[in-house]
Chains A and B, each alone.
Chain A
Amino acid sequence: MKLFVGVLLLAVFVFNAVSSHGQVSFPNGYILTTKIHLDITLDQYEVVSVNLGDTIVKVYHNRQIFPEHHKRGSIFFAHGNSASHKVWEHQLTDESFNRRFNLYAVDFPGHVCPSSSANPSISNPCKSGCFYLLYRSKLQIHCCWLCGLYGSCSSAVGHH
């Protein structure tokens, strides 16, 4: 029994040694995690609302995780089209990153809005974030055209 436990502990040690982040992915898609850590979760992230005028951007920050650690720098994660900060879960919950860096992840305007794809409209404040996406100066024609399409053009005109 002692031999078994000893071999097991050695295996875990070696596994972590070859993978500093304690995770090894296999070709079939399974991810094996052996890192003994504090079970960092996204729920521990502080949500910071950044007011950009007529829209608010939510940024998630690990301020409360390892607050005693001196974090010399920051890593800021920006998700892709039609996603959210949650896609970065494996990075945001990584103990090594959390110990050393301020970690931020943003939810872009126009994202994480319930049922938006089924009924797109800019009349909903949550959805008005489209005006703030990449190329604001060129959005007006497209927004108005789309709003006409979806029956809320007056809202768009009023917005500008």
Chain B
Amino acid sequence: MGAVVQQLGITDCVFVGWSLGGHLMLESFQREEVFRQAAKAVVIHGTPPITTVSDVLAGFIWTDPAQQYFSQAVVTEPEATVAVTAFFRPRVAEHPGPYAPIIAEWTQQFLATDGVARYIVNHNPFGDEVNTVESLLAQSSTPIAIFHGREDRLINASYIEGLVPHIPTLWESSIHYVESAGHAPFWERPGVYNELLDSFVDTVFDW
């Protein structure tokens, strides 16, 4: 991310990361001075900050059958559909209704991802850093916001709640839940999500 930020000349930026993208934001924040300089704030959602194997076990809901497909190199279209459906509220799996078109579109995105990349990302969750994500968040002076879909099937919200006291720059000292949304609240509740993001960005930029 640092190289991307540098080449594009990005400054005064709020970085918003969803799930894997959130992990990448945290990772870049930890490792790259260029990224830290450009970051006015960081927003993560669907992202349990993790450092150890026990964090991984606690941060994700492994009982959901869709989890296996996010680290599987070769997936069939039905498997990709199961994975993508898990981005949304649990009821969507039984009653796709108006979600059907977006599930179909995102399934094609899923199938258009290099299976090797998917495998590697999820089998190499730890770098060689000595600082834990917890210590990073505890020492950071950069504002951080955590949004979370109330009905997220894939991420254990109580694990993230446990980190809240250790993040001094966390916006309003709490996780901001988006009701009636799963792992992808920016799509399921875009109006609510955008207003939430807008509120946070307003405080950051002090318009």
**How far is B123's CA from A49's CA once the two chains are assembled, in angstroms?**
28
- What residue in chain A is nearest B39 (Cβ atoms)? A76
Asked if A62 CB lies within 8 Å of chain B CBs, one says no
Inter-chain contacts of B189 with A (CB < 8 A): 25
- Report A129-148 CB contacts with B as 1/0, cut-off 8 Å: 11001110111001100110
**How far is B116's CA from A84's CA once the two chains are assembled, in angstroms?**
16
Inter-chain contacts of B114 with A (CB < 8 A): 110-111, 113, 116-117, 120, 122, 126-127, 129-130
Task: Tell me whether B46 and A117 are in contact (CB under 8 A).
Answer: no
Size category of the B interface is 35 or more
- Given contacts A111-B117, A121-B116, A138-B124, is CB(A31)–CB(B4) below 8 Å? no
Inter-chain contacts of A122 with B (CB < 8 A): 114, 116
Task: Tell me whether A78 and B18 are in contact (CB under 8 A).
Answer: yes
Task: Tell me whether B4 and A97 are in contact (CB under 8 A).
Answer: no
- Given contacts A87-B186, A116-B112, is CB(A96)–CB(B198) below 8 Å? yes
Task: Tell me whether B8 and A146 are in contact (CB under 8 A).
Answer: no
Interface residues of A in 9-40 (CB under 8 A from B): 19-25, 27-31
- What residue in chain A is nearest B3 (Cβ atoms)? A52
Asked if B168 CB lies within 8 Å of chain A CBs, one says no
Candidates A50, A120, A133, A142; contact of B115 at CB < 8 Å? A120
Interface residues of B in 62-113 (CB under 8 A from A): 70, 73-75, 80, 83, 87, 92, 97-99, 105-106, 109-113
Task: Tell me whether A31 and B110 are in contact (CB under 8 A).
Answer: no
Asked if B138 CB lies within 8 Å of chain A CBs, one says no
Task: Tell me whether B198 and A142 are in contact (CB under 8 A).
Answer: no
Asked if B11 CB lies within 8 Å of chain A CBs, one says yes
Inter-chain contacts of A19 with B (CB < 8 A): 191, 195
Task: Tell me whether A83 and B191 are in contact (CB under 8 A).
Answer: no
Task: Tell me whether B117 and A72 are in contact (CB under 8 A).
Answer: no
Asked if B13 CB lies within 8 Å of chain A CBs, one says yes
Inter-chain contacts of A52 with B (CB < 8 A): 3-4
- What residue in chain B is nearest A147 (Cβ atoms)? B116
Inter-chain contacts of B187 with A (CB < 8 A): 87, 89-90
Asked if A80 CB lies within 8 Å of chain B CBs, one says yes
Interface residues of chain B, those whose CB is within 8 Å of chain A, are 1, 3-5, 7-8, 10-25, 27, 40, 46, 70, 73-75, 80, 83, 87, 92, 97-99, 105-106, 109-124, 126-128, 180, 183-184, 186-195, 197-198, 201, 204-205, 207
A selection of 18 A-B contacts at a CB cut-off of 8 Å is A21-B191, A21-B195, A25-B189, A76-B16, A77-B18, A78-B24, A79-B18, A80-B46, A108-B21, A110-B117, A111-B109, A117-B110, A117-B115, A117-B118, A122-B116, A135-B126, A138-B126, A146-B120
